[in-house]
């Protein structure tokens, strides 16, 4: 004999557990939550992004519903309306009389519904960590608190929740996908590596949150702008830049520019740029870049890690995940960080095969990527680049890596249409270098 038991648990995350209970042993044979999880529709965005609609332009918003009351809460995320206060933890509820569960509360400072945005983006961030890292971002439900204070132009993690102001002159309400993931990821860092929020570790802490913000943008949209907070920044641009952090006039591009006491938001430029360089390399993307930085945060970074120790951690994470460790070391070397972990044995460069074309290559200004080829018998071959945007330069040299001053062939033309004809000797290694004369993308490298 079994009993079917159910009861209702009121609160910010309401539950109605159902259980089949063995009458003799009391063992729970089966269980499920009977609360109707529902999906809300409504506007989001601001005057800069333009209005978009959940349930139309984006999927609907996961929340819960009981009768005619909708609550911005599910097992993973809840959103709190502080309504100008500075404390509070009750999930936002509203009357919803039909199946659309439409919410348009409320328009403020050019934004159409920060509450809708917060609940939706919170779920995106949770799903990204779950899908890409098989872990929740925090050890408890994400709490997204919006409408903090009066004209508050910031957002923060306070150890238990993410809080967002409505902005005023510089910002729209600070709830976009970048900032949402950024603040959640401060919590992730606190619960994992515990990077202290000063010195080099503080710069890494800030950078990891920026990286998570860009990763969440990619997870949600399939593309990125490489700018932190562009959607909530009034005017052109954004808060920080990945491709060249110094474009904001304050951040640093290279570890050689670091000094003790520098604002951690500005020293974050070192790891932000390393992430950019790595994620745009051949056979890498934002997902794989995020995975190695996140695993490093979980496994290899410590409270007071230096830049070199942090880079080493990312290299170890690349080994663990079977990614190209040498690419990691090179990306960090371009920002003045030694990520070699003291290992000096070189890793082979990407090997080109005769008749092969590698597509979608990209690189930053002054970046260098290397390839090799070796033929079994002597032949005249053509090494070529073509297509894409920007300006990559092609270099080829027999026996050793070319440099800007040492090479056998360097067409040195504007754009990406360059060709080297090589009388290749049998069983001899030839080295190919692609250098970013300017930032480039979408380039194809071929050996024929």
183 flagged as catalytic: yes
- Any residues with CB less than 8 A from the CB of 229 and at least 6 apart, and which? 171, 174, 176, 178, 179, 213, 238, 239, 240
Exposed/middle/buried for residue 215 (C-beta within 10 Å: 0-12, 13-18, 19+): buried
| Active-site pick, 147, 182, 265, 431 | 265
CA angle 128, 132, 134 (to 5 degrees): 100
The pairing of beta strand 368-373 with beta strand 350-351 = parallel
| Active-site pick, 147, 182, 183, 214 | 183
Nearest Cα to 353, choosing from 326, 371, 380? 371
Quote the CA–CA distance of 35 and 344 in Å, as a whole number. 58
Rg value, the chain, Cα: 26
386 flagged as catalytic: no
By annotation, the residues acting in catalysis are: 183, 265
């Amino acid at each position: 004999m079994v009993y079917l038991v159910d009861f209702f648990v009121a609160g910010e995350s309401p539950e109605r557990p159902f259980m089949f209970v063995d009458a003799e042993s009391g063992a729970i044979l089966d269980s499920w939550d009977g609360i109707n999880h529902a999906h809300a529709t409504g506007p989001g965005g601001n005057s800069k992004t333009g209005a978009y609609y959940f349930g139309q332009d984006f999927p609907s918003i996961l929340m819960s519903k009981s009768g005619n009351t909708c609550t911005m809460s599910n097992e993973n995320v809840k959103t709190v309306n502080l309504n100008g206060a500075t404390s509070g933890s009750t999930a936002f509820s509203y009357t919803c009389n039909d199946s659309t569960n439409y919410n348009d509360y409320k328009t403020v400072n050019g934004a159409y519904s920060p509450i809708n945005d917060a609940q939706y983006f919170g779920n995106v961030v949770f799903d990204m960590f779950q899908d890409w890292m098989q872990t929740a971002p925090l050890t408890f439900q994400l709490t997204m608190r919006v409408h903090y204070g009066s004209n508050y132009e910031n957002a923060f993690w306070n150890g238990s929740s993410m809080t967002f102001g409505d902005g005023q002159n510089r910002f729209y309400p600070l709830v976009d996908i970048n900032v949402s993931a950024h603040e959640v990821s401060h919590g992730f860092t606190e619960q994992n590596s515990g990077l202290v929020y000063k010195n080099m570790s503080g710069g890494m802490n800030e950078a990891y949150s920026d990286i998570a913000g860009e990763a969440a943008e990619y997870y949600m949209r399939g593309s990125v702008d490489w700018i932190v907070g562009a959607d909530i920044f009034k005017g052109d641009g954004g808060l920080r830049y990945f491709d060249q952090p110094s474009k904001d006039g304050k951040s640093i591009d290279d570890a050689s520019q670091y000094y003790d006491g520098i604002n951690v938001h500005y020293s974050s430029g070192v790891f932000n740029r390393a992430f950019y360089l790595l994620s745009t390399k051949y056979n890498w993307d934002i997902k794989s870049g995020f995975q190695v930085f996140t695993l490093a945060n979980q496994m290899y970074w410590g409270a007071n890690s230096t830049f070199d120790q942090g880079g080493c951690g990312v290299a170890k994470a690349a080994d663990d995940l079977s990614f190209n460790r040498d690419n990691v070391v090179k990306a960090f070397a371009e920002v003045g960080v030694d990520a070699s972990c003291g290992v000096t044995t070189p890793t082979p460069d990407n090997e080109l095969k005769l008749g092969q074309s590698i597509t979608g290559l990209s690189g930053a200004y002054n970046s260098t990527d290397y390839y090799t080829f070796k033929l079994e018998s002597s032949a005249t071959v053509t090494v070529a680049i073509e297509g894409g945007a920007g300006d990559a330069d092609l270099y080829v040299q027999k026996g050793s890596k070319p440099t800007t001053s040492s090479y056998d062939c360097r067409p040195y033309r504007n754009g990406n249409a360059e060709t080297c004809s090589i009388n290749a000797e049998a069983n001899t290694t030839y080295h190919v270098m692609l250098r970013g004369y300017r930032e480039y993308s979408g380039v194809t490298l071929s050996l024929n």
